[in-house]
Amino acid sequence: MVKTLDKVDVVTVGVGWAGGIIASELGKAGVKVVGLERGENRSTEDFQMVHDEYRYAIRYDLMQDLSKETITFRNNPGETALPMRQFGAFLIGTGVGGAGTHWNGDTWFFSPYDFEIKTMTDKKYGKNKLPKEYLIQDWGITYDELEPYYEKFEKMAGTSGELNPLRPERTRDYPTPPMKSTPMLDRFEKAATNLGLHPFRLPSANISEAYTNPDGQTLNQCQYCGFCEKFGCEYGAKSTPNVTVIPTALKTNNFELRTHANVVGIHHDGKRATGVRYVDVQTGEEFDQPADIVVLTSYTVSNARLLLLSDIGKPYDPNTGTGVIGKNYCYHITPVVTGFFKDKFNASMGAGSLGTTLDDFNNDNFDHSDLDFIHGGSITMKQLGKRPINENAAPKGTPNWGKEFKQKSIEYFNRSIPVTSQGTSLPHRNNYLSLDPTYKDAYGNPLMRLTYDFTEHDHKLHDFISERCAEILHEMGADKVETRDLMEHFDIVPAHNDHITGGVIMGEDPETSALNNYLQMWDMDNVFVIGASAFPHNGGYNPTGTVGALAYRAAEGILKFKEKDGQLVKAKDSSRA
């Protein structure tokens, strides 16, 4: 027996950064919003026992319950996908705040090159720079158009940082100064400068000093306790939805947060959505929540999956290259180069986005004429705070158990540090999301099927960036410098990177994208889909800053749509426009 509830203006599916931003912005404008979140509520008080590596980083206390829902995976369309039964390559958050609760906090803004990657690559390197299997396309928006929304996000989040010498288009300062530096980060900066590179402090959501945002929410000063990624912050010193946009939304009295509510479908008549159906995960009761506007604000795979389950938008077909839902699934290619030093440093002290970074090998900041790849990645040394179960770096040739392992992993615990990169991941024709024909979730609905493998481009980019990382570590005086090889094929087991993107991408043409540049669906005017799912490719920076900026833009779009029904953007180059 499904219970039908009273209609609301807007319903969001998921309450993380995207859902929180929509709720706060619409709530402030007097719009009634219901936020449906499958997980539980939580706030700073829930993290009093958070300094527990085993509970949070090994047993994944804050992550999705895979017994209820997971994905299936295969490397290519010729294989049979099987369920990801345990977490490995990437983690998926859950609960109020979503991945925004347990993120490290690197707060980036994508480059002008990212947003116009197709046009600018063709112009500079010709139309045949990449094989045609790589589906790069412009985003339907420029950096300049998105800049004001990045500003909104950063001011809300209190981002700590300093200007990037290689991004002159940005002139506005960060709301708070950079975090403290450390001896190891100072050495990275000096070595990079010696090599003629342009290091600067990593923009961070671990806030360098107490900050009150324009909504009146106060963030506290980061204590450098070393428990950020996979953990919540017990100080309220990391910008998360839980301490910013969600309390702001609740303060308006226009936002109702409904937890343990797992959305299983969107109701629609083919032209417009009329609401959503959800299951109370504690009792099994089903509810229909009618709404004028439906906003999907879940994680990448969940956004695409709900559209496919609800038969909204045309599913992508890799054989014909037609359709859009599930298309342009991307990742982050993650070079990790470890420096082993003779000196000892305070490796346990740190913060999630305490780091120094450089952009010399990112975007189109270096000439790719003689290289067989495009783009690159930010190169960063971070002092995250090492934890002992997971951190057992030892020079190559050391066994991973036994006497020598013990000796070396102890010796190098405070004497090694990696330089890493968020390497750009380009869309490939065969990398996509679709519904699995066999495996189901706890509610009987098909799981999302991921078809993904590393591409030749990934390998070339990875190896090039790894060499640059190694050069810096050598200049820093590392005793040994060791690179990690990119596996020939993507493997669902070893931890690689949590940044998965695409599947419901934005663009300028309904034939090749699902959303316009307000993240409004081309095929259904009153559905907006917000998240890294909207990225046509994943650039050389961590994604959250761009998710936040796009969410602020979508909030503005929703308010416009409430004023005047219909498409907010005229499609380009399309027979359907």
d(CA 516, CA 328) in angstroms, rounded, equals: 16
The beta strands (E) that lie in 177-242 are given as 200-201, 211-212, 218-219
Per-residue contact flags (x/-) with other proteins for residues 412 to 431, judged by CB under 8 A? -xx-----------------
Q: Which is nearer to other proteins, 6 or 488 (CB)?
A: 488
Q: Which of 439, 463, 480, 484 binds other proteins (CB under 8 A)?
A: 439
Q: Which is nearer to other proteins, 80 or 194 (CB)?
A: 80
Stretch that binds other proteins, among 31-39, 44-52, 248-256, 421-429 (CB under 8 A): 44-52
Residue 241 interacting with other proteins (CB under 8 A): no
CB of 87 to other proteins, least distance (A): 8
| DSSP for residue 233 | -
d(CA 329, CA 430) in angstroms, rounded, equals: 9
In the region spanning residues 95 to 154, those forming contacts with other proteins, defined by CB under 8 A, are: none
What is the amino acid identity at position 533? S
d(CA 427, CA 137) in angstroms, rounded, equals: 9
Q: Which is nearer to other proteins, 396 or 440 (CB)?
A: 440
Do residues 115 and 539 make contact, with C-beta atoms less than 8 angstroms apart?
no
Q: Which is nearer to other proteins, 22 or 354 (CB)?
A: 354
Residue carrying structure tokens 């929410």: 217
Residue 226 interacting with other proteins (CB under 8 A): yes
The SS3 call for residue 22 is helix
Q: Which is nearer to other proteins, 2 or 493 (CB)?
A: 493
Q: Which of 225, 243, 307, 324 binds other proteins (CB under 8 A)?
A: 225
Nearest to 122 by CA among 137, 107, 110: 137
In this structure, what are the phi and psi dihedrals at residue 290, rounded to the nearest 5 degrees?
-70, 145
Nearest to 525 by CA among 323, 326, 297, 273: 273
Q: Which is nearer to other proteins, 209 or 256 (CB)?
A: 209
In the region spanning residues 481 to 500, those forming contacts with other proteins, defined by CB under 8 A, are: 489-493
Three-state secondary structure string covering 393-430? CCCCCCCCCCHHHHHHHHHCCCCEEEEEEEECECCECC
CB of 386 to other proteins, least distance (A): 7
d(CA 242, CA 247) in angstroms, rounded, equals: 7
Q: Which of 41, 43, 220, 223 binds other proteins (CB under 8 A)?
A: 223
Residue carrying structure tokens 């009634």: 32
Catalytic residue among 102, 457, 499, 537: 499
Residue 355 interacting with other proteins (CB under 8 A): no
CB of 100 to other proteins, least distance (A): 20
Q: Which of 153, 224, 341, 432 binds other proteins (CB under 8 A)?
A: 224
Size of the site for other proteins (CB under 8 A): 65
d(CA 191, CA 360) in angstroms, rounded, equals: 14
CB of 556 to other proteins, least distance (A): 38
CB of 56 to other proteins, least distance (A): 11
Instruction: Provide the phi-psi class of 220: left if phi over 0, else alpha when psi is between -120 and 50, else beta.
Output: beta
- Angle, CA of 508, 527 and 102, to the nearest 5°: 95
Give me the DSSP letters along 536-547.
Answer: SSB-SS-SHHHH
Catalytic residue flag (residue 499): yes
Residue 443 interacting with other proteins (CB under 8 A): no
CB of 282 to other proteins, least distance (A): 16
Residue 28 interacting with other proteins (CB under 8 A): no
CB of 453 to other proteins, least distance (A): 8
Residues serving a catalytic function are: 499
Which residues would be at the binding site for other proteins (CB under 8 A)? 48-49, 51-54, 58-60, 63, 65-67, 70, 73-75, 79-86, 88, 180-183, 221-226, 344-346, 348-350, 386-389, 392, 400-403, 406-407, 409-410, 413-414, 438-440, 489-493
